[in-house]
Chain A
Amino acid sequence: MLSIKNLHASIDGKEILKGLSLDVKAGEVHAIMGPNGSGKSTLASVLAGREDYEVTEGEVTLDGVNLLEMAPEDRAREGVFLAFQYPIEIPGVSNINFLKTAVNEIRAYKGLPPMEAKEFLQRVKEKQKLVEFDAKLANRSLNEGFSGGEKKRNEIFQLAMLEPKLSILDETDSGLDIDALRIVANGVNTLRSQNNAFVVITHYQRLLDYIVPDYVHVLYKGKIVRSGTKELALELEEKGYDWLKQSVDAAENATI
C-alpha cells in the first residue's frame, strides 16, 4: 500500500531523513520507534505534506500514486490520515462543521455526492462511541480548550469518520493517562481491517501493548536501522536505545 524508497528530507537546509525506506501492506500495522531527534515526527510531517520540509531525494507512493507531488489535502483525499502529535486549536471553526466539510471533500474527490445530513449525524453518533468522545465536544470549536486526552480522542474520532487507507499516528500516546490510552487503542483496534494500514510512531513500547504491531522499525539518524517483530519493541523497552545507537555509530565509524 505504502512504499517509501530512499527518502531524504530536510528543514532549513538541515537533512533529517537520510535515505529511509519502508513498505507497508494493506492490513498491516507498523510501529516506528526511535530516540528523540531520530526523525520520527519528520517522517509523519513529510508523508502528510507539511511544506516546511523539503524532500531532496526518494519517492513515496500510496497504491502506486506518487504522494510527494500532491498538496496536503489531496494526500488526505487519497487516504492518508495523520493523527497529529499536537492537534491544533482553531477557535471559531466548529468541530462538526469542519468534519462535515472534510467528509464531503473526500467524497467529492471520489466522485460521490455529499453525505446526507441524517446519515452524517448517524455516523457521528456511532463513531463518537468508539472513542467515548463526548457529544458536547463535537459541537465546540475545533480542539479549543480540549484537554490533551480529548484532543487525541478527537483525532481518532476523525480517523473513524474519514476512513483513510493509511493512518499515521504520531506519538498519539504522548500525554495520555492509562485510561485514555486504552480508549484510543481500542478505537484503533476496532478500525483495523484488511483494507487499511497503520503506521504507529511512538517513543515508548507502552502503546504497543495495546496496539499490537506486525512489524517494528527503529529509526535513528534519519534511517531505519533495525526492523523486526513486536519482540524488538520489548527488547528496546528492556535495553533502551543506547546499545542500538552504539552499534550504529560504531558501524558508521568503521566505514569512515
Chain B
Amino acid sequence: MITQVSSSLYQQIVANFEEGLMVGAQVPSLDTVRKDAFERFKRTGFPTTKMEDWKYTNLQPLLNESYMLEDTLPERNVGLEDAVISGLDAYRIVLVNGEYRADLSDVIAEHGVQVLPFLEAVNNPIFQKHFAQYADKTDNPLVALNTASNKGGVFISLSDGTVLSKAIQLVHIMASSETLFSQSRNLMVLSKNTKAQLVESFITSDGSAKSLSNNVSEIVVEENAQLYHYYIQVAGEQSNFLNHIEVHQKKHSLYNNYNCSFPGASFVRNNINVRLDDSAVESHLYGIVLGARKQFVDNHTIVDHSMPHCESYEWYKNIMQDEATAVFNGKIFVQLDAQKTNAFQQNNNMLIGDKAVVYSKPQLEIFADDVKCSHGCTIGQFDDDALFYLRARAIGEQQARTLLVHAFAYDVTEKFDNSAVRDYVDRLIERGLNIA
C-alpha cells in the first residue's frame, strides 16, 4: 500500500497517477475517461483563491498536509451510532472512507432497485450511459481529480415506475488511523416515474485520524421522477470535505435537496449544481448551516434553467457561532430560451459569534425576459424585542434563544418532507447551539 509522504497533495497525486499507482483497480473501460480527467486536473491543479468560485475558500492549508492515498485497513470495524435517525425507516448503505462495505450495508430486495459498488457497476449499461457525463462538464478541477482516480462509491438505479417503500440512507464514515485522502464516486439514476428518498449522513468514527474527502455524486432524475435528497453533515472536527453533487433533471421531474451542516467537520465545501435541462422541471434547494468553533462551511450552488416553464426555489439559512465562517454562493442562470421561468433564492444569516464571519454572493444571470426571478440576502442577529417578549413570558434566556434559532431555521425545516429527518434536524439544531 502507498504511504508516500510528499510536500504537497498535488505532487503526490500526480506522481502516483503517472506511476499507475493511483487507480486502485484497473478498469480498462474507464481508461480513456480517467486519463482525460487526469490531464484536466493536472493542468489546473487544485483550486486557489484566485479563482472566483474559490475566492473565500482557501484549500492551501489542507493541501500542505501529507496524506495516505489509500486506506490501509479497509476492513476495519466502525460504529454507525452517529448516523442513526430515530423514526426513520430506511435501507442503509455504508461507505467507509468512500468505499462500499457490503458487510455493513442492507440488501435492498425491492423490485426495480439496483445497488452496486462502483467498481462492479462499470459494465452496467445505465452506469455507462451516465457516468462522468454531467459533473465533468463543469470546470471544477476536483471533479476531474475524482473522475481520474476514485475507486469507491456506489451506483444506485431505479427502473421505470419504481417507488421505494423506504428511504435509502447512505452513510459516509471517515475512519482512519493515519491522515487520509479519500474519494468516493456515486451515481444515482432515477428512471421515469420513480420516486425515492435519499438520506446521506456524514460521520466520523471515534478516534479517527484527520481526513480529506473529495466526493462526487451524479444524480439523474428522468421524466416524471422525484427525488428527495437529504444531506446531513455531522462528521467530526478531524474530517474535511469537498463534495460535488451534479443533478440532471428531465421533464416533469422534481428534485429536492435539503443540505444541513452541524458543528463538527472543520472544513466543508459543497457544490450543488442542478441542471433543469427540460421543460416543466421543478427543483428546490434548502440549506441550514449551524456553525461553531472555527468551522468553515461553504455552500456553492448553481441552478441552471435552460428550458422554459421551470421553477426553482432556493433558501439557505446560516447560523454562525464562535469563530465559524459561512460562505454562500448561489448562482441562478436563466438561459436564452428559458422563458416563463420562476426562480427564487433567499439567503439569511444570523451572526451569533463575536468572530463569526459570513460571505454571501447571491447571483443572478438572466438571458430571457419573460421570467420572475428574485433573490435576497440578509445578515442580522437575535431580535432583542422578540427575546424580551419571550422572557417576559417566563421563558429563560437560553431557551428563548434556542426558540428564536428554531424560528429562524423554520422557513427551511418546515419544508422537510420526511418528518423523522425534520425532527432529527431540529434536535441537531438544539444540540449544536452553545448559547450560554
Contacts and interface: CB of A to CB of B under 8 A. Distances in A.
Nearest to B391: A72
A185 interface: no
A90 B404 contact: yes
Interface in B387-420: 388-397, 399-400, 403-404, 406-411, 414
A171 to B, nearest CB: 16
Interface stretch (A3-11, A29-37, A102-110, A125-133): A102-110
B394 A82 contact: no
Contact of A93 (B388, B391, B404): B404
B336 interface: no
Interface string A71-98: 1110111000110100110111100001
B18 interface: no
B389 to A, nearest CB: 5
Contact of A92 (B388, B389, B391, B411): B411
B391 A76 contact: yes
Interface centre among A73, A77, A101, A162 (most CB of B within 10 A): A73
A50 interface: yes
A49 B390 CA distance: 12
A157 to B, nearest CB: 12
A196 interface: no
B386 A50 contact: no
Interface string B368-390: 00000000000000010110111
A134 interface: no
A102 B386 contact: no
B394 A50 contact: no
Nearest to B400: A73
Contacts, number: 79
A48 B386 contact: no
A105 B389 contact: no
Interface centre among B394, B407, B410, B411 (most CB of A within 10 A): B394
B403 A77 contact: no
Contacts of A98: 390, 393, 395, 403
B403 A101 contact: yes
A158 interface: yes
Contacts of B396: 71, 73, 105
Given A87-B389, A88-B385, A76 B394 contact: yes
| Interface bin, chain A | 20 to 34
| Interface bin, chain B | 20 to 34
A192 B190 CA distance: 64
Contacts of A93: 403-404, 406-407, 410
A51 interface: yes
A71 B392 CA distance: 9
A113 B409 CA distance: 29
Contact of B407 (A84, A90, A105, A109): A90
Contacts of A75: 392
A106 B395 CA distance: 8
B206 to A, nearest CB: 34
A13 B157 CA distance: 69
B407 A76 contact: no
A158 B409 CA distance: 25
A63 B386 CA distance: 28
Nearest to B385: A88
B407 A91 contact: yes
B391 A102 contact: no
Nearest to A106: B394
B392 A72 contact: yes
A230 to B, nearest CB: 28
A73 B403 CA distance: 14
B23 to A, nearest CB: 49
Contacts of B400: 73
Given A88-B386, A92-B410, A93-B407, A105 B399 contact: yes
Contacts of B393: 73, 76, 98, 102, 158, 162
Given A84-B389, A88-B389, A102 B394 contact: yes
A141 B390 CA distance: 13
Interface string A42-63: 0000001111000000000000
Contacts of A91: 407, 410-411
Contacts of A81: 392
Contacts of A88: 383, 385-386, 389
A92 B407 contact: yes
B397 A73 contact: yes
B391 A73 contact: yes
B14 to A, nearest CB: 50
A196 to B, nearest CB: 16
A92 B408 contact: yes
B50 to A, nearest CB: 40
A220 B410 CA distance: 44
Contacts of A105: 394-396, 399
Interface centre among B385, B389, B407 (most CB of A within 10 A): B389
A19 B395 CA distance: 30
A193 to B, nearest CB: 20
B163 to A, nearest CB: 31
A75 B409 CA distance: 29
A101 B388 contact: no
Given A72-B388, A73-B400, A92 B394 contact: no
B389 A90 contact: yes
In the A-B complex, list the 6 residue pairs whose CB atoms are closest, starting with the nearest: A92-B407, A92-B410, A76-B394, A72-B391, A73-B391, A93-B407
18 contacts: A48-B392, A71-B391, A72-B391, A72-B392, A73-B391, A73-B396, A76-B393, A91-B410, A92-B409, A92-B410, A92-B411, A92-B414, A93-B404, A98-B395, A98-B403, A101-B395, A109-B394, A158-B393
Given A49-B392, A73-B392, A92-B409, 17 more contacts: A48-B392, A71-B391, A72-B391, A73-B390, A73-B391, A75-B392, A76-B391, A76-B393, A84-B389, A90-B407, A91-B411, A92-B406, A92-B408, A101-B399, A102-B395, A109-B394, A158-B393
